[in-house]
Structure 1
Amino acid sequence: SAQFDFSDAEKRRTEHYIARRLVREPDNDAYAFLGTITPGEKDEEVHEARVRAALMREDWPQVVEWIDAMPAAQRNGFDWQYWRARALEATGKVDEAHTIYAVVARDRGYYGFLAADRIAAEYHLAHAPTPVGAELLERVASIDAVRRARELFALDRSIDARREWRVATQGMDVKHLQAAAKLAEQYGWHDRAIFTLAKTGYWDDLELRFPLQHADLVEQNAERHGIDNAWIFAVMRQESAFMRNAHSHAGAIGLMQLMPATARSVARQILKRQPPRRSELLDPDTNIALGSAYLSQMKGRLGDSAVLATAAYNAGPHRVTRWLPPHTLPADIWIELVPFNETRGYLQRVLTYTVIYEKRMGRNPTRLQDRLHPVPPDLSRLGAAGKPASSSDAAG
């Protein structure tokens, strides 16, 4: 009848909606359907959905075919180049794969680190301070609005201070913004330093971008809960960029962006202390203690896997257990299949930042391949340190 006479545009929209829903669907007919649709140049999500569905099946020839069907700008991104190389490697085209890995490995990021692992290359972690001369620093420091912002920050009037900083930096060119970022770093105002430098596109000043603020509290809580201090730093950097009084739209508070209900539960169950008032979550000592305890709780609850725990910190443990695969998958594939874009990006950034924080603390960074253990369909199959248990371990 006429009511089901869809236009071509409506058919495409419906097909694309279905395609996005089928990524994690194990049914073979559903997978076959993905091969019948022809996404256009602007259908980036559908192109990605098809490749992710092929990744879940480790159908490597199909991964190559569907990546090659992407628009050039999309397929040339480090993410899809990494997966193209993985697929080529899996289908025996090792030399071609290694050539691509070598290019991707130049990037200081999640896919760059993964690619470096595949060819045993060094991670690109060189630090280069922001190039700012003393004279320009002095000039920017003497701007009235910068001085007012600094005073307000010193008085702990952070909302007014941030407002004044915005006024001060509005309209600045790249060089002046870089100088402002260095000044904020000198003032101990790390969130403004990070955000201001980001506006300039200068990414190589690792000391400014990844400060070691609250190092004593981080170390103390890492020891207490038996978790990696670089991981705590990475989560804090991702959650708040060290903005002590950060508030999210969802209601999360403080350095590690704790929901008040989560903070109360963790305080009672793990730390055996009085549940904190909302205002107490702004205190670094309280926030880092509760956030670290919650990370540790998630890790224990999710098979001792820091990867699953990181995803749970962002999206909740109930979702992560729902996202466990129908069969054991390599962790890089499992991460790529996380259905929430926000959580997938969060997880990738926290893994990247953990590597960078290890470097910042003078450690030899743990390779991502040593952190990313296969993800089984059942958490009982994970043994110590989130690694799949052997059959004898599982039996025991």
Structure 2
Amino acid sequence: MNNRVGVDESVEVNSNTTGSRTLYEHFRKRKFIWIISSIILIAVIIAVPTIIITGNNNEMEKASTVTEMLTTTEITTQITTSTTTTKSKQILPPVIINNNTKWKQNAVTVAGGNGQGSELNQLNWPVGIYVDDDDQSIYIVDSLNHRIVRWELDAKNGEIVAGGNERGKDIDQLDNPMDIILNKEKKYLIICDANNRRVMRWSRQNIDDQEILIPDIICWSLAIDNNGDLYIADMQSNLVRRFQQGDMVGIVVAGRHGTGNQLDQLDRPRSIFVDEYYSVYIADYFNNRVMKWLKYAAEGSIIAPGHASNENPNPLGSLISLTVDHMGNIYVSNWDNHQIMRWSPGAIEGTPVAGEKQSGSGSMQFMNPQDLSFDRQGNLYVVDKDNHRIQKFTIDLD
């Protein structure tokens, strides 16, 4: 009996187990489907922003590519424009000046000319100039205003670039400056600060950056050679010295044997010019002559006036300043005839190239002409001291 009962109970147990297993399989499948659905849902949630971001990134990449293309085009255009501009400036070569060159006689006032004064449109006894072709401007030694002014061509006013702090001996002051040049790299102004017995260096970028370059020297004129060496006319010692960078003593290149009128002597060297062969031209003021000293020469040679005569014992007059052209012709200014004269090598007398004999304030006249210089195109600039102006004579190419 127990066996039957046991068998019957066993059958009932197996039946319940089968039902439970079926139910378990049902829930397991539903759970699996739920898991799969959840995974798909999560994948969709993750995928959609990724697609959006990817799309945005593609758009951004496209935009970046376009921007880069535009930027590259702009840079290329700028470079091309810059190159074209540079080339256009170099198309016009320097004009070769010779003994046949002429200048139009009606000068144009390019600085000053508004009476004697200290305003930015005025000058007060200008004595020296430096013509800077690269930035189309001139630097003017405005002596009795104790300053250096830079004047852009065609400008109505100048700007103070050195001094201008009244007369004095402080580091930021000048006292009757006499000459101005730029160093080879054109970063600094080099100034003859005559009454302070020194040569100053003044930064072009910072007017407050200045230093004493050479102390204890009565400087009257300056020049720079192709190597960047500085030449100084020392009026007190009657010498011309050459200074390399950092040198404060210098090497004597002209006038080695005291004051006098011999070929190895000078008497108040007032103006100097150095050519491409390192020859030094000197306006020997009290000897009324122009000397030329070759590089390493022990003495100089007289190249103007050449010969004096009974009718004209002093053909050069009171020699003030000089410059030299490409052919070795000398151009001088003097107090006596108020003209700019050209002296060709070996000439007996000079030829007037600018100004009338009669002094005055007209466009063809000077009153005490001082420094003179050419620009790259052969135009002539003259410091008209007592008219307190700078005159430009345009080269006549007709």
Structure (1/2) with the larger helix percentage: 1
Ranked by relative contact order (alpha carbons within 8 Å, sequence separation 6 or more), the top structure is 2
Which protein shows a greater Rg? 2
Q: TM-score per shorter chain, which class?
A: under 0.3
Calculate the TM-score normalised by the size of structure 2. 0.27
Structure (1/2) with the larger strand percentage: 2
